[in-house]
Amino acid sequence: MNEPVAEAEAGASPRWGALAGVTAALAVFGAAQGLSYPLFTILMQRQGMSPALIGISAAMMPLGLILSASLVPSAVRLFGARNLAVGCAIAGALCFIAIGALQNGFAWFAIRFLIGFVINPLYVLGEVWALALAPPAQRGRVMGVFNSLMGAGYAVGPLTLTFVGTDGWPPFLIGIAGFACCAVILGLVSSSLTGFEKDGEVSGGFFFFVRTAPALLTAVLVSAAVQQSTYSLMPVFGSSFGLAAATLAALITALSMGNIVLQIPLGLAAEKVGARFMIIFCAVATGTCALLLGPLILTPFIWPLLVVMGGVGYGVYTMALVELGNRFRGSALVAGNAAFALLWGVGGIVGPPSAGALMQAIGPSGLPIVIAGLTGLLVALALYRSTHRRWA
């Protein structure tokens, strides 16, 4: 069950058309998702909702991700991977229709939870298909391209608001179209997508991966906590040093650029030196960048630092995906990706509040301290597993 996929797929020919289709579908889906965050915040502010309520509303989607993660393997067996993915994309479009029709911030709490619940299989299956379709020797670069395009989709989504605005149906129609295109593309390439529900593999689910691959799960949790803490609190960190509002927004843009441009080089490096080593490298680099935030925040060097930090911070997750694909296949791979989704949601809920609380207690240095502490924990666990037993 946990033999490397490379051995199982050594004789398989690459299915580049299906891989391109899956990647395009998830990139379009990412654009629709990226659009939703600023759109909902702006509209809820117009309705007079407090920042606390807006924050709770934003937490509904990761809560849906967490609660649905353990159900994905069973849903794949029950409905089939292709039917589940296409159905979830359609359900996402219907949720956007409901949000646009209701225009009620309080009703959106439930709908945003549903969005998180139904999009989780898209995340899981998209990554599983990309891992399974990629030639084993090129899995690093394939996942680098996949995550770069996902990052580009998330970055493009908010930009569309500058063209269509936030009034009326136009922004919602873009989100609806994104989910609909995702469903259409997956439907068109479905004949080449592996039906993991029929492979006969058996997996113990989440707790199986806790025992078998604790370092990989820790890598996902740390990456999620670091990424979402940084994106949420970097403007607060920058404002503590007197930076202007426009500069604060540019800090986030620099982090996003790192997500987009560095995943492919990191993936290529993983093919040369191994994904396990690259997880440790990315974690060390992320912690180092975090400790340099304070000394460099008021200098021009902050911009390349943030590009690197955004890239290697998310690179921890990309490298964990590559290692997961190297070690598992079939339904075990589905279960592993579902466990990744669960830990990503947990990291997103735990990371920002912890960093925010420490910043409130000791000042802006709380953010880099939390990031460095989390990455240090990951490095320590990875080195321990490498020394005493199987690495992951």
CATH number for the domain that contains residue 354: 1.20.1250.20
- Using pLDDT thresholds of 50, 70 and 90, give the confidence band for residue 195: low
Specify the pLDDT at position 287.
97
Question: Do 235 and 193 lie in a common domain?
Answer: no
Residues spanned by the domain of 314: 206-388
4 is a domain residue:
no
Half-sphere exposure of 98 (CA within 13 A, CB side): 16
Question: Do 92 and 70 lie in a common domain?
Answer: yes
Residue 5 has pLDDT above 80, yes or no: no
Average pLDDT, stretch 359-383?
A: 93
- Using pLDDT thresholds of 50, 70 and 90, give the confidence band for residue 2: very low
Specify the pLDDT at position 126.
85
Question: Do 325 and 268 lie in a common domain?
Answer: yes
Report which of 215, 222, 272, 219 is spatially closest to residue 387, judged by C-alpha positions. 215
Q: Which of 8-22, 129-143, 178-192 has the lowest mean pLDDT?
A: 8-22
Question: Do 216 and 360 lie in a common domain?
Answer: yes
Question: Do 22 and 143 lie in a common domain?
Answer: yes
197, 216, 234 - which closes a domain: 197
- Buried/exposed 294-324: b ≥16 CB within 10 Å, e otherwise: beebeeeebeebbbbbbbbbbbbbbbbbbbb
Question: Do 215 and 136 lie in a common domain?
Answer: no
62 is a domain residue:
yes
Structure tokens at 282: 């990315």
Higher-confidence residue: 368 or 106? 368
Specify the pLDDT at position 372.
96
Higher-confidence residue: 364 or 331? 364
Question: Do 86 and 167 lie in a common domain?
Answer: yes
38 is a domain residue:
yes
Report which of 119, 320, 133, 116 is spatially closest to residue 209, judged by C-alpha positions. 320
Question: Do 68 and 212 lie in a common domain?
Answer: no
Average pLDDT, stretch 62-67?
A: 83
6 is a domain residue:
no
| Mean pLDDT for the chain overall | 83
Report which of 84, 153, 175 is spatially closest to residue 125, judged by C-alpha positions. 84
Relative orientation angle of helices 72-79 and 81-102, to the nearest 10 degrees: 110
Q: What percent of the chain has pLDDT over 70?
A: 90
- Tally of structural domains, the chain: 2
Question: Do 145 and 24 lie in a common domain?
Answer: yes
Average pLDDT, stretch 298-303?
A: 95
How far apart, in whole angstroms, are the C-alpha atoms of residue 78 and residue 27?
A: 26
- Using pLDDT thresholds of 50, 70 and 90, give the confidence band for residue 390: low
Give first-to-last CA distance, the chain, whole Å.
15
Specify the pLDDT at position 313.
95
Average pLDDT, stretch 363-383?
A: 93
Specify the pLDDT at position 387.
75
298 is a domain residue:
yes
Specify the pLDDT at position 388.
67
Q: Which of 106-110, 265-269, 388-392 has the lowest mean pLDDT?
A: 388-392
90 is a domain residue:
yes
The per-residue pLDDT for range 36-48, each reduced to its tens digit, is: 777 877 788 788 8
Average pLDDT, stretch 360-374?
A: 93
Average pLDDT, stretch 288-308?
A: 96
77 is a domain residue:
yes
> Is the Cβ–Cβ distance between 132 and 325 less than 8 Å?
yes
Average pLDDT, stretch 52-76?
A: 80
Residue 350 has pLDDT above 50, yes or no: yes
Higher-confidence residue: 381 or 7? 381
197, 218, 246 - which closes a domain: 197
1 is a domain residue:
no
Question: Do 120 and 232 lie in a common domain?
Answer: no
Report which of 284, 290, 288 is spatially closest to residue 355, judged by C-alpha positions. 290
Residue 196 has pLDDT above 70, yes or no: no
The per-residue pLDDT for range 210-224, each reduced to its tens digit, is: 788 888 999 999 999
Question: Do 89 and 19 lie in a common domain?
Answer: yes
Question: Do 41 and 188 lie in a common domain?
Answer: yes
In sequence order, which residues have a C-beta less than 8 Å from that of residue 209 and are 6 or more positions away? 216, 217, 335, 336, 339
197, 220, 251 - which closes a domain: 197
